[in-house]
């Protein structure tokens, strides 16, 4: 019998209109590796056979791919909870209407309290305005469908906390403005940036990464904001330490897998190590390889040595440089030459 994996993250493309300095996938700065529609459907077959209960569509910008909504709908119709993470850059009314019947949840990524901050963090002028317009559209579609008694997604804001975007006063004014502008908003989720991809590099570690103590303080800020808006959207601060080994608990069996755009499967989300491709080998074999990688003494020792966010960034750098493919390692070597160049408006 095929192995059961309950949750998948699927980065369906590395194409992206933005150039965030903390991007975990370096999207927009590398080949998109997007599959054609028919091959993408085979990846869905794999997830369905694994009896997935939840699939997160991410990237890159998932909505830049022609077959994206069809793929989401196929999973949704099969009873899988589908979550979409989008910049909102290309959101249109008709896309939102199609999403109403294709996903359970849409999260628009906003990482700064205003246009100046958000656009600087995300490397492109106009990103904040586009994200806000996308939320206007989602709000409208959801409100109209609810009034008509039709099913619809829940929607909200995913706010990645980096040092420039995490000042308490900014977060407060952002929440006030969002609650007022989007009355139907279901959630605002804050989460400290994870030291993965570009966010694990030394330059970002110094200027962008929060410390564990800062993150814990922000969790307290989140609790205060949640209390203040108890009749509004659900406000939370995700404890990103979830991805770290916890005392008495092992990550070896965590059945959360990350698929790259071309079907490559990561041994563990966040890190570059691959165990094969879901289009080429059975998932049972890949899963066993992933478990072997996770319990490899060197990997386990690296992960278990993490005490601080800086340790975590260091571990990511070590694991990515040791286990990434040749392409990955060459790309990592080129970082700093192109990674932080903003896209013109």
Where on the chain is the footprint of ligand SF4 (CB under 6 A)?
16, 18-20, 23, 25, 27-28, 59-61, 87, 122
Residue 28 or 112 having the CB closest to ligand SF4: 28
Residue 269 CB, nearest approach to ligand SF4 (Å): 15
Residue 20 or 218 having the CB closest to ligand SF4: 20
CA distance linking residue 219 with residue 52, whole number of Å: 30
Residue 74 CB, nearest approach to ligand SF4 (Å): 23
Residue 15 or 154 having the CB closest to ligand SF4: 15
Residue 60 or 184 having the CB closest to ligand SF4: 60
Residue 14 CB, nearest approach to ligand SF4 (Å): 8
Residue 16 CB, nearest approach to ligand SF4 (Å): 3
Residue 256 or 340 having the CB closest to ligand SF4: 340
Residue 87 CB, nearest approach to ligand SF4 (Å): 5
Residue 76 or 130 having the CB closest to ligand SF4: 130
Nearest to 21 by CA among 214, 169, 160: 160
Residue 19 CB, nearest approach to ligand SF4 (Å): 6
């Amino acid at each position: 019998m095929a192995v059961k994996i309950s949750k998948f993250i699927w980065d369906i493309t590395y194409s992206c209109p933005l150039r965030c300095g903390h991007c975990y996938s370096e999207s927009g700065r590398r080949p998109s590796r997007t599959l054609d529609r028919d091959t993408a459907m085979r990846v869905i077959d794999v997830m369905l056979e694994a009896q997935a209960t939840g699939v997160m569509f991410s990237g890159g910008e998932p909505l830049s791919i022609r077959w994206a909504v069809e793929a989401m709908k196929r999973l949704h119709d099969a009873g899988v909870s589908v979550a979409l993470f989008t910049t909102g850059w290309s959101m249109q009314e008709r896309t939102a209407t199609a999403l109403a019947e294709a996903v359970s949840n849409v999260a628009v990524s906003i990482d700064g309290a205003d246009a100046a901050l958000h656009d600087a963090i995300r490397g492109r002028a106009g990103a904040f305005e586009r994200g806000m317009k996308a939320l206007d559209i989602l709000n409208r579609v959801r409100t109209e469908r609810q009034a008509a008694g039709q099913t619809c997604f829940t929607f909200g804001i995913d706010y990645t906390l980096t040092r420039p975007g995490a000042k308490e006063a900014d977060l407060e004014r952002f929440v006030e403005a969002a609650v007022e502008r989007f009355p139907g908003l279901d959630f605002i989720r804050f989460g400290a940036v994870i030291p993965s991809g570009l966010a694990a590099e030394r330059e970002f570690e110094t200027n962008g990464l929060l410390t564990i103590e800062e993150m814990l303080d922000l969790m307290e800020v989140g609790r205060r904001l949640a209390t203040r808006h108890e009749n509004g959207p659900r406000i939370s601060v995700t404890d990103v330490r979830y991805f770290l080994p916890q005392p008495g608990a092992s990550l070896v069996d965590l059945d959360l897998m990350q698929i790259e755009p071309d079907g490559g499967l990561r041994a563990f989300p966040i890190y570059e190590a691959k165990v094969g491709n879901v289009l080429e080998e059975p998932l049972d074999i890949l899963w066993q390889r992933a478990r072997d990688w996770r319990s490899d003494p060197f990997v386990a020792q690296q992960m278990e040595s993490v005490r601080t966010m800086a340790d975590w960034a260091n571990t990511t750098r070590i694991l990515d440089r040791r286990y990434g493919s040749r392409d990955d390692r060459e790309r990592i070597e080129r970082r700093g030459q192109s990674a932080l160049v903003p896209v013109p408006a």
